[in-house]
Structure 1
Amino acid sequence: MRTPTASRVIEAAALAAGLALATASCTSTTQAAGTPGTGTPAATARTTARTTVADVALPRPGHVVVVMMENHSYSDIIGNPDAPYINALAAQGASFSRSYAVTHPSEPNYLALFSGSTTGLDDDSCPHTYTGPNLASELAAAGLTFTGYSESMPSDGYTGCSAGEYARKHNPWVNFTNVPSADNRTFAAFPSDYAKLPTVAFVVPNLNNDMHDGTIAQGDAWLKANINGYAQWAKTHDSELVVTWDEDDNSSANQIPTIIVGAHVRPGTYDEQITHYSLLRTIEGFYRLPPAAESAGAAPISDVFGVS
Structure 2
Amino acid sequence: MLLKNILPFIGYVLAAESATKTQRTYSQYSPKSSEIAEAAATAHTSHETSDVEGAFFKRLVVIWLENTDFDKAAESEGLSYLAQYGITLDNYWALTHPSEPNYIAAVGGDYFALNDDRFITLPSNVSTIVDLLDSKSISWGEYQEHQPYTGFQGFNYSNQHTFANDYMRKHNPLISYESVTNNETRLSNIKNFTEFYVDLENETLPQWSFITPNMTNDGHDTTINVAATWTKDFLTPLLNNSYFMDDTLVLVTFDENETYADKNKVFALLLGGVIPDDLKGTIDSTFYDHYSEIATVEANWDLDNLGRHDANANVFSIVADAANVTNDDVDTTYKVNNHTYTGYLQDNSQAFPAPNITLKNKVGNPVLPAIVSVWSSEYEAQLSQGFFTSTTTTVTGNIPDATTTASSNGTASHSNSKSASASASASTSAVSSKSSGGANSVHVVGISAILGFAAALIL
- For the superposition of Structure 1 and Structure 2, which TM-score range results when normalised by the shorter chain? 0.7 to 0.9
| 1:184 correspondence with 2:190 | yes
Q: What SS does structure 2 have at the residue aligned with 1:163?
A: strand
CA contact (8 A) 1:106 1:169 kept: yes
| 1:155 correspondence with 2:149 | yes
Q: What SS does structure 1 have at the residue aligned with 2:239?
A: helix
Deviation at 1:144, TM superposition (A): 0.9
1:259 to 250, 262, 269: 269
Q: What SS does structure 2 have at the residue aligned with 1:127?
A: coil
What corresponds to 2:66 in structure 1?
Answer: 70
* CA pair 89-194 structure 1, distance change in 2 beyond 3 A: farther
State the 4+ residue runs in structure 1 displaced beyond 4 angstroms: 304-307
* CA pair 232-296 structure 1, distance change in 2 beyond 3 A: farther
Residue type of the alignment partner of 1:290 = D
What corresponds to 2:434 in structure 1?
Answer: none
What corresponds to 1:242 in structure 2?
Answer: 251
What corresponds to 2:401 in structure 1?
Answer: none
Q: C-alpha separation between the residues in 1 aligned to 2:202 and 2:304? A: 27
Deviation at 1:129, TM superposition (A): 2.9
Structure 2 unaligned runs (5+)?
1-20, 22-53, 159-165, 181-185, 323-459
Q: C-alpha separation between the residues in 2 aligned to 1:139 and 1:228? A: 28
* CA pair 194-221 structure 1, distance change in 2 beyond 3 A: farther
What corresponds to 1:61 in structure 2?
Answer: 57
What corresponds to 1:92 in structure 2?
Answer: 85
Q: Deviations over 1:111-164 (max 9, x none)?
A: 111111102211111032333221122111211111111111111110001111
CA contact (8 A) 2:62 2:210 kept: yes
Q: Which has the higher strand share?
A: 1
Q: What SS does structure 2 have at the residue aligned with 1:291?
A: coil
* CA pair 230-115 structure 1, distance change in 2 beyond 3 A: farther
CA contact (8 A) 2:61 2:210 kept: yes
Q: What SS does structure 2 have at the residue aligned with 1:185?
A: strand
* CA pair 233-251 structure 1, distance change in 2 beyond 3 A: farther
CA contact (8 A) 1:232 1:262 kept: no
| 1:230 correspondence with 2:238 | yes
What corresponds to 1:125 in structure 2?
Answer: 118
Sequence identity (%): 27
CA contact (8 A) 1:94 1:304 kept: no
**Larger deviation, residues 224-233 vs 102-111:** 224-233
* CA pair 136-185 structure 1, distance change in 2 beyond 3 A: same
* CA pair 130-231 structure 1, distance change in 2 beyond 3 A: farther
* CA pair 130-87 structure 1, distance change in 2 beyond 3 A: farther
Deviation at 1:63, TM superposition (A): 1.3
What corresponds to 2:385 in structure 1?
Answer: none
The equivalences for 1:30-49 within 5 A come to: none
| 1:205 correspondence with 2:213 | yes
Q: C-alpha separation between the residues in 1 aligned to 2:86 and 2:145? A: 25
CA contact (8 A) 1:136 1:145 kept: no
Q: What SS does structure 2 have at the residue aligned with 1:242?
A: strand
CA contact (8 A) 2:106 2:173 kept: no
| 1:274 correspondence with 2:291 | no
Query: Looking at both structures, which has the greater relative contact order when contacts are Cα pairs under 8 Å and sequence separation is at least 6?
Result: 1
What corresponds to 1:140 in structure 2?
Answer: 134
Q: Could you say which structure has the larger radius of gyration?
A: 2
Q: C-alpha separation between the residues in 2 aligned to 1:61 and 1:150? A: 23
* CA pair 129-143 structure 1, distance change in 2 beyond 3 A: same
Q: C-alpha separation between the residues in 2 aligned to 1:232 and 1:261? A: 12
**How many residues are paired up?**
248
What corresponds to 2:174 in structure 1?
Answer: 173
What corresponds to 2:343 in structure 1?
Answer: none
Deviation at 1:305, TM superposition (A): 7.3
Q: C-alpha separation between the residues in 1 aligned to 2:254 and 2:228? A: 13
